Every structure is written in structure tokens, then in C-alpha cells.
Structure 1
Amino acid sequence: MKRIFIGLVCVLLIGHLVQSQSIYSFQGLGSLNHQGMPNNVGNGEVGIGSPTIWHINTQNPANLIYNTFSTFQLGIVVDRRQFSGEDLSGEATEGGLRFLGYAFPILPGKWSSSFGILPYSSVSYNTFSEGEVIGSGGTVNQISDNRGEGGLTNFYWSNGFKIMDKFLVGVRTNYTFGSILKTSTISIGGEDLPTSNVTYEELEAYSDVNFLFGIGYRHTLTEKSFVNFGATFSPRSPLNGTSELSLIRLSGSGSELETIEVGSTDITFDLPRTYGIGVSYQKLNHYMIGMDMEAQAWGNAGSGNTLYNNSLKISLGGELTPDFDNVNSYWKRVKYSGGLNYHKLPYIVNNQALTDFGINFGASLPVSGYSSLDLAFKWGQLGETTNGLIKETYYKVVIGATINDRWFIKRKYD
């Protein structure tokens, strides 16, 4: 167990957090990432009102109280996208570390804690355009090459508490940090005009603290069947940072001639007020079906005069374990999951709101003890091909590992 734990930590130290390669990640802070674990990806990304004792709940900190084991989770994701639009097509594939968390009971049944890292947003795009300079009579052309990379990461610390027999509360503290580098290279030239190249480079770096609060309630129907309720709230929170702008003159061959540091300014991006509710019906170690709704008040968030939509995400999913105690059939002990989700994104492109729809599947394969190998797959579509937009069809494959054990407990007998 110790060798496995050390090996997983080494993967974190030498790896990198996966970045989404969405062409729409030029907006705001980039593509916003789901804040759940690999098992949540498999069940449609529900988790606010769906507690589990086998995995870490990062969506509602109140549900951590059900983690009676010391639980370590890690996962990687491979993201493949196909782009289509008017006279446009392309594809891209990226992958890497995506999930890392550790949860443990402090006072079993009364107080559990968790910490880890989850990517909050991802920026990875490259757009290219060319055309005539207006007013030049077709003698001068302009080429623009726009690129962006980076993103923000949440280092979180969550705590869940049972304050009454069935009532739970929790708080997740996020330290959100990271940087976003955007460059735009403009080339202007013509038949009787030498080519002039200029690169505008902007580096935004953010770091600040924000909070997510959660509550949970379980209503017992029978000894092994329950109805669970959950709710989360995150207040509007400023994310402070700095912006550095540079101008770079390039030769016709692309080599750097001169760099002008324009200067550094303080910037603030207001993270939106967020409300979430969830409900699930659960038969212990057999099946669960749940639904989440999450709304974000982006209309009053962001920075400057940029306009955003209030966003809404609806997730529906479930899990099924055919026979948890069956010692003769391995596949009957596997937990199968599936679900779907619809997300109205906050970003507006060409005066049109973006939507993201996904269908999810997953399985948790039991291994030694109470640990598991967690697999998930998501097929989704983002955007559309009308109104000058681009449709992204994407496929995500998630491979995760969950280690459950009773650590930090002194043995009474050797």
C-alpha cells in the first residue's frame, strides 16, 4: 500500500494537469471543469445529493461524513475533440492528470476531512485568420494567429460534520491559482509593402481564496434504502491577480527583434454566486439514482464590461451493483454507472449562448480489499455550426484508482 501511495504521488510531481483544447476557451477564464471525481464522471456528474462511502465527494463537502475509510483517489483523462463549421474541420487530442484527492475520518461518523487538487478552468486554443486590410484596395493582406494556454487550479480543503442524527454541514476552502498566457501575432504585408510582424502577449496570473458551503440530509425508508438531499452555496468572490502586457517586433522570418514591456496592472475577476441542489434514492450497495441542478449568477460576475449569461447545469445519473456480496461472479460485484447532463454555459459568442450536452458511462472494478479501478467515458457536443459558430464533438476517457483502507489506526494485536 505504501509503495502504491508513493508511486501515485510521484505521478503528480512529474505530471501535469490536463488542459481542455476547446476553441471556446478564449472566453473569460477558459473552459470550466467539472469539480467531481472519476466516479462522478461515470454517473452523469451528479454528486451534490448523492453520498457514497467508497469515493470522495468533492461536490458537496457535507457528504464527506460518509467516508469512514481513509480514501485516496487519482485519475487521468484523455480528451479528443473534432471541430466542424463553415468551411472548417479539425481535431485535437490531449491528456494527463485530472483528479487527485485524499479523504479521512477525524472523528468517525462525526467529522471527516479531505484535501486535493482539481483543475478549475483550462485554456488551450489556436485560431488562424487571414484577409484583406479594409481600405487597401486588395493590395495589403493581414494574417492573425491567436493562441492561448494555461488555466486555473483549485487546491481544496474540505470538512464535513454531522450536527444532528440526519443533518450534515460542510465547507470547502479553495485556493484558486494559476496563469493564462494569450498571444496574438499579426502579420501585415502586400505586393509593394514589406511584411511587418507584431506579437501582443498578455500574461494573467491569479491567486485567491474562495469558499463552498454544503448541507446534507438523509431520510431512512428501510434498513438499507434512503432518500438523500443536498444543497450547496458559494458566494460571489473576487479573484485577484495581475496582468502583464508585452509587444514583440518580429522579422519577416519570425525571429525576435525587440520586446517592449508595456507594464503590469492589478486585475480582478469576480467568480459567480453559485447555488446547487441534489436529490437521490439509494439502496445500499445495490443501486442509486440521482439528479443535480446548479445555477451560477454570471450576469454580475466577470471583469470589466464583458457580458456573460447566467448559467445552468442539470445532471441525471445512476449506479447499479448487481450483487455486491457475490463471491462467485466478479462481474456481479462491479458497479456500473451512467447518466447525462446539459449545461448552458456563461459565455456568449456572436450574441449567442453556448450549450454543452453529454452522455456518460462508467464502471468501478473492485480490486484488493475495498479499493477499485474506476473507468468512465463521456461523449458530448459543445456549440453548433450555425451563426458562424463551431461545433465540437468530444470524447473523454477517464481512468482512475481509488484506494480505501483504515490508515492511522493503531493495531491492538500483532
Structure 2
Amino acid sequence: MIKRILIVVLVTISTSLVAQRNSSSPYSFFGIGEDVSRTTVEQSSMGGIGVALKDVNHLNFINPAANADLRYATYALGGELSLLNISSSTSEDSGNTTSLRYIALGFPIGKNAGFSAGLQPVSSVGYAVLNSINDTNGDFLEATRFNGNGGTSRIFGAFGINVFDELALGVEAGFIFGTVENNISNQRAGVSLLTKYEKETRVRGGQFKFGTQYKKKLKNDLEVVAGAAIQLESELSVSGAERLYSFNFSAVTGQEEPRDTLYDRSVSGQLINPVKTIMGVGIGKQNKWYAGIDYEFQDAFVNQGNVVQGSTYRFDSSNRLSLGGYYIPKVNSISSYWERITYRAGLRFENTGLLVDGTNSGTNFTQIDDFGINLGFGLPMPRQLSSLNLGFEYGQKGTTDNNLIKESYFNIRLSLSLNSNQWFKKRRID
């Protein structure tokens, strides 16, 4: 019962809203956090496309088959600054966060294969929301504060090989791990003690993905590429503990002093992620221009043990449509630096699969959608083939309908893609 009441307070926020974004949005309260896009900054700048993208100079996190095209040792590091504005039907606030998106290394294996490995976030939790309720005279009645942090990450390795001149196959294995912490404190007028609910869960599990790309050369140096990637069904183990207790604050130290514990127990369960499929097609000229479209879909995950499920929200199937591409005026221009810049742009339309009932009726679930407009630039560095990549995204997520929250965000992304054909060569002794 207490979980239901506390979740309702979070999503309605009917009186006042004070939010600070630490690593994610208030929607990261649900499940194991807000999903983090597992794309490079270059791919994000094109709306998140990449399943049919072949590139010898940059890593591809969407399709492991793309590793077959690596011709240089490539080191990639990406980060993000996100500016967020949150609004309900009655109030609004803003915040910002910085985060590391990935760190990865890829290199060729012979002339027809390549391997990459890295570390990147999978989901993110980070919110601080205060909800205050006053009576008709403006006197304090009740205040509830929600705090959450943590998330999950993954380490992965991916291998791709050109089976034929036109066909590449790839496989990827990853391990997901992380800890999610949520706590909710409640204070009521005329009651000396506060109540606090704490929950900490640890998430562990493996993941496998297979991918393929097929390239067909046309006239005038045009290339058409079709790609597909399938992430197999996987089980994530969720375990931890939850506690409900009363407390007050020490007059000397100002720290919490626990009093009575209502319960302190362990929790455990499984999150079963169904098969995720990504398909796409693209056309372009190598080192000149490219335009592509990706479509991703996945059924709702299955929650065994009811560890992360609530009565006022649920998960359904999700899907994403991405469109984008790049243009390079003249990749080998000597006279103009601006002609060597890679210009990127894209759009993203996403149904997150999260449905929230802000009215607490048990039947009025609202789908949470996400939309983004992307623009990016690949700035060549003095070192041959390496680049500094900038990406900008404006997007909106959620709605203020049915007592819910709408987010407007502006993301600034930065990455380094460093290439070298000398890293794995033996040095000669003069």
C-alpha cells in the first residue's frame, strides 16, 4: 500500500515541483532507471542510426558486424552535458547533469575482421523531487521527498568479419551490472517523527547480440547497405533489500537518528528482456555522403518477483524510428578546413514502452513518448583520420496530460575518435 501511495505522489506532483537532475530524469524512478542510448556521439548526431552504416574510421555500437570494416586501431571516448526543464500542469523547474557515455577501443584483425570492446552505461537513475501539500489557508500539511541514484553499466566485446565482399557478420557479448538506490521520506504536520522508505537493488546479467550487413555497389560509386541486429532474450538478476522506519534529526549533528523499524527484508527477482530487433537501410558515397533509416522494436520485459513493478505504472512493447545522415564537402581538401568537416543531422521518434497512470485510477495509463532533433559536426584533428565530434540534440519526453511530467531537454555531446595504423606495428631497431 505504501509503495502505491508514494508512486502516485511522484507522478502527480499536483502542488509544487522542485527537481534536480543528477544523472537522469524523474522518469528514471521507474524500473531500473531511464534507458541510456547505446550509440556513439557520431551516431546520436544522426538520430541514432547505424545498423546499416559502414565506417572504417569510427566505432559502431549498434551492429557488431560493422567491426569487419575497421582498418585502423580506434580509441573512442564520449561524454554529455544535458540541460533539462521539467514541467507539470502547475509548475516547472530545471537542472543539468554531465555524464560519461562510453569508453571503447577497436582494431582490425587481418584484412577482413575487427574487434571492439568497451564500457558504457545502460540505464541511469538520478532525481531529487520534493512534493509539499498545504491546506486551504496555506498551512503545512505534508511533505514527501524522493531521491534516487545509481544505474547500470555494461562491459562488452564485439567481433565482425567479412564473409564475402558484400556480406559481413558479427557477434557481441556483454555483461550488465549496477546498483540502484531509491529512498522516500515523508513528514506530516503534528507528527514528531518522519518516515523513510529505502530500497537498494543490485542488477546482474549477460547479453548477446548478432548482426549482419549486406552492401551492394551501384553506378556512380553509390553504395546501398542493408543491416540488421538481433539482441537475444536475456535474464537480469535483481536482488537487494528494502526497509521502512521512522526517524528524527539530531539536534547536535543534524543527522538522521532511526527510531522504530517497521520492516527490514530482502528482495529478489528476475527481469527478462525479450528479443530486440533493429533493422535499417542506407545509401551513399564513401567519404562523401550517407542517408539512412533505422527501426527498432522490442516486446515488454517480464518482471518475475515484482521487484521493479508498481501499481500505477507498467511496461509495454517499445519502438524507435531514426532517420539521419552525414555530408562531407571534400574529405581531402587542402585549401579549406571547413570542407573537411563532417556535417551530421537526424531525427528520432521513440515510444519508450513506459506507461504511467497519473490519475491513480488503475485504468488511465498514458504512454511516454520521446522525440529528438539532432545536429553534429566531425572536426578533423591534425592527426590523420582522428576527429573531435560535437553533437547537439533538442528533445521532448512525456506530457503534462493526466497529471504527468513533461521534459524538454538540450543535450551537448562531445567525443574523441582517435585513429592510428601504428599502434600494433612492431618498431624496427635502427
Which TM-score applies when normalising by structure 1? 0.89
Alignment of 1:266-285 (within 5 A): 266-285=268-287
Letter in 2 for 1:341: R
- Compare 305-314 and 352-361 and name the one that shifted more: 305-314
Distance in 2, matches of 1:300 and 1:265, equals 17
1:207 to 204, 220, 226: 204
Q: Is the 8 A contact 1:279 1:291 kept in 2?
A: yes
- The structure 1 residue matched to 2:324, chosen from 294, 299, 317, is 317
CA change 1:152–1:212 in 2 (3 A) is: same
Q: In structure 1, what is the Cα distance between the partners aligned to 2:429 and 2:182?
A: 60
What is the CA distance between 1:300 and its match in structure 2? 4.4
Counterpart of 1:256, as a letter, is E
Tell whether the 8 Å contact from 2:56 to 2:70 is kept in structure 1 after alignment. yes
1:122 equivalenced with 2:136 (yes/no): no
Q: 1:48 to 1:259 in 2, by over 3 A?
A: farther
Q: Is the 8 A contact 1:83 1:391 kept in 2?
A: yes
SS of match in other structure, 1:233 = strand
Name the structure 2 match of 1:387: 402
Aligned counterparts of 1:405 and 1:140: Cα–Cα separation in 2: 64
Kept after mapping to 2: 8 A contact 1:44/1:339? yes
Q: Is the 8 A contact 1:28 1:347 kept in 2?
A: no
The alpha-carbon deviation at position 303 of structure 1 amounts to 6.0
- 1:231 aligns with 228
My pick for the range that moved more, 241-250 or 387-396, is 241-250
Q: How far is the alpha carbon of 1:340 from its aligned partner? A: 0.6
Q: Which runs of 4+ in 1 moved over 6 A?
A: none
Instruction: Write the distance in 2 (CA, Å) between the matches of 1:337 and 1:361.
Output: 6
Displacement of 1:225: 2.1
- Aligned pair partner of 1:340 in 347, 355, 361: 347
Q: 1:39 to 1:140 in 2, by over 3 A?
A: closer
* Alpha-carbon separation, structure 2, partners of 1:408 and 1:226: 31
The two structures, once aligned, show a CA RMSD in angstroms of: 2.2
- Mapped to 2, the partners of 1:171 and 1:357 lie a distance apart of 30
Corresponding residue of 1:31:
34
Q: Is 1:257 matched up with 2:272? A: no
For the structure 1 residues 96 and 300, does the alpha-carbon distance in structure 2 shift closer, same or farther, using more than 3 Å as the test?
A: closer
Change (3 A) 1:143 1:172: same
The residue type equivalent to 2:167 in the other structure is: F
Amino acid at match of 2:331: F
Name the amino acid aligned to 2:24: Q
Partner of 1:77: 80
The secondary structure found in structure 1 opposite 2:44 is helix
Alignment of 1:5-404 (within 5 A): 20-109=23-112, 111-131=113-133, 141-190=141-190, 194-222=191-219, 224-251=221-248, 255-258=256-259, 260=261, 262-298=264-300, 300=302, 304=306, 307-350=314-357, 351-367=365-381, 368-404=383-419
Distance 2:206 2:145 in 1: 34
Hey, what's the Cα distance between the residues in 2 that align with 1:245 and 1:259?
15
Letter paired with 1:362:
G
TM-aligned CA deviation for residue 412 of structure 1: 6.2
The 1:296–1:258 alpha-carbon spacing in structure 2 relative to 1, beyond 3 Å, is same
DSSP 3-state at the match of 2:403: coil
Q: Which secondary structure does the structure 2 equivalent of 1:387 belong to?
A: helix
Letter aligned with residue 264 of structure 2:
V
Matched pairs, number: 389
CA distance in 2, matches of 1:29, 1:19: 16
Gaps of 5+ in 2: 1-20, 358-364
Aligned to 1:409: 425
Q: Deviations over 1:182-206 (max 9, x none)?
A: 001121332xxx3221211100101
Residue deviations 1:272-304 (CA, integer Å, cap 9, x gap): 320110111020110000100000111646763
Percent of pairs with identical residues = 28
Q: Which amino acid aligns with 1:122?
A: S
1:309-330 deviations in Å (ceiling 9; x for gaps): 2111000001000011111101
* CA distance in structure 2 between the partners assigned to 1:342 and 1:302 by the alignment: 30
CA–CA distance in 2 between the matches of 1:139 and 1:354? 34
CA distance in 2, matches of 1:298, 1:188: 38
Q: Which runs of 5+ in 1 are unaligned?
A: 1-17
1: CA distance between counterparts of 2:22 and 2:347?
Answer: 22
1:353-409 CA distances to partner (integer Å, 9 max, x unpaired)? 000000000011001111000110000000112211111100000111110001212
1:25–1:125 contact (8 Å) kept in structure 2:
yes
Structure 1 distance, partners of 2:219, 2:198, is 62
For 2:22 and 2:210, how far apart are their aligned partners in 1?
27
When structure 1 is superposed on structure 2, of 391-400 and 156-165 the one drifting more is 156-165
